[in-house]
Structure 1
Amino acid sequence: MPARLALPNHIDGDGVHYEQQYLDLMHHVWTQGHERIDRTGVGTRSILGATMRFSLADDAVPLLTTKRVFWKVAAREMLWFLSGETNIRPLVAQGVHIWTDWPLDRFRRETGEAVSMDDFEARILADEAFALQWGDLGPVYGKQWVNWDRYDPAPEVGEGLYRRAAQGHNQIAALVAAIRTNPGSRRLLFTGWNVDQLDRMALPPCHMTYQFHVADGRLSGLLFQRSCDLGIGFPFNIFGLALLTRMLALQCDLEPGEIVWQGGDVHLYLNHGDLVAEQLSRSPAGAPKLRILRRPETIFDHRIEDFLVEDYQPQRGIAAPIAV
């Protein structure tokens, strides 16, 4: 049997660019999805269940090329998750605005003050007390990832009673240890879906459960995303999955393998018609690379300067409203 021809990582066995599966899914959801009224009141076209796979070999990264994805914003968000932070103040200080809509909406509703986003963020930065009151998002991703509430027995209070421990369970640290010591485990996962605390979160986790798999010296990652805004959210989510898988592989002395994305409710908002039409009119091209320039002592010690994307020449961005 002749040897199989090695293909570039941005081209699959059928000669199709990696991004085409995303564009095909976008077309399917927009033309075949069920029209539904959603939490935001905007309305969506939605399907249940979708899967995409992307190679990470040779530093490949599945950044969309049919529109610009601001990958540094996504990387800063990932570092914010890993810090355990749940307040927007550190993000705003870095010029990242993707989480501001939710606390801003709450502030306007509860105070009746029609403040602009710029003025709201300025107050978040200038006034720590204001940020503590209005910038907190509740126990969202970072809290669950690295400080999931843990309870210890409290026999001095009463038989069978427990108190919350000062330090919660760090799922990410435990995951790194498990990958290194028990790579064949089927329990290499973490989740943000803490049922007891969902009603205290500004937004329950959309990218909710991550699972990892070690084979032939390679680490692959899978994300189950219960709710996916395909037009705006997915480009950030898939980059985040790729980045996190690469960071874990680096910490665990493994090569990156592939990432698998699974969507539950996969939808496009009805007011994103212009985005869909414009993006589907474009053809994907190029093969960006993600370089990690430094291996820190722990996965929690990364800085934004550790990450470099090369050979990324996307087409111009496409504006679209965010449903809150």
Structure 2
Amino acid sequence: MLDCVIIGGGPSGLNGSLVLARANKNIILFDEDKPRNAVTHESHGFITRDGIKPSEFKRIAKEELMKYPNCKIVNERVMHIKKEKQSFTIYIKTGKVYKSRKVILSTGLIDVLPSIHGMSDFYGTSLFSCPFCDGWELKDLPLVLIAENAGAFHKVKLLYNWSKDLVVCTNGKRVFSQEQRDLLAKKKIKLIEDEIMVLQGEKGQLKTIRFKNGTQIERKGGFVTAGLKQASSLAMTMGCKQHKNGGIETDSFGRTNIEGVYASGDISLSAPSQVINAASEGSIVAMGVIHDLVREDF
């Protein structure tokens, strides 16, 4: 019987595994190795790891975990989790079955990008979603914000911190109030509400945005407001409650409404999606698991 299984090998699952391993708990980290940041060349904002490649971050993390004999890493997909009276049965894709007292879901999110031709050619290279992660590298450049929802105005204000040469494209949507339009004009931020036909450039570097009305603009990079959805259905099939924003509802130590099931990292949508935030949540949730195990055993 395992003390805990962690499902998802992102920063949250990795850091949670480290805390659990160091607490002398027998654990398995299940990692399908399909990270959300696979298209990202560098991760930023994590002290001592600023600018690191996500793949290198993961390699170092797994290397550190392998120092602990009570921690095992299994590169397989978890297909189903069945709750028993005092434990959980975990079924993985190969057909193997594991038993565990606790489960941490760190399965993360998936970006849902606007349906624009050429978007995938530049996302993660010169088009990004988080200015805190990538704003410095694009500061003072001619930028575009592609946003189709009501959060566009907040994103504009954020991006103005890094570059004043900003064009906002809504891809045919009308998402700004007249008051917001007036403020954009006052700040000399151009607003284009025409539908985008295609994004063009070379080797991942955005150069031109062509619109269906025949016009075009030149930009050197920018940001896009992506939608988010759960990367795994495990939390939902287990009956975990969700917030209105789609995140998994938890207490301050990651406990869900299902006893023995915890959620950490981006899955809860409780903090901005950054490596350092996810890793921090993984540590806190792992401590919550340890507190519960110790209380039960003592």
- The two structures have a TM-score, normalised by structure 1, of 0.25
Structure with greater proportional helix content: 1
- Relative contact order: is structure 1 or structure 2 higher (C-alpha 8 Å, sep ≥ 6)? 1
Structure with greater proportional strand content: 2
- The two structures have a TM-score, normalised by structure 2, of 0.27
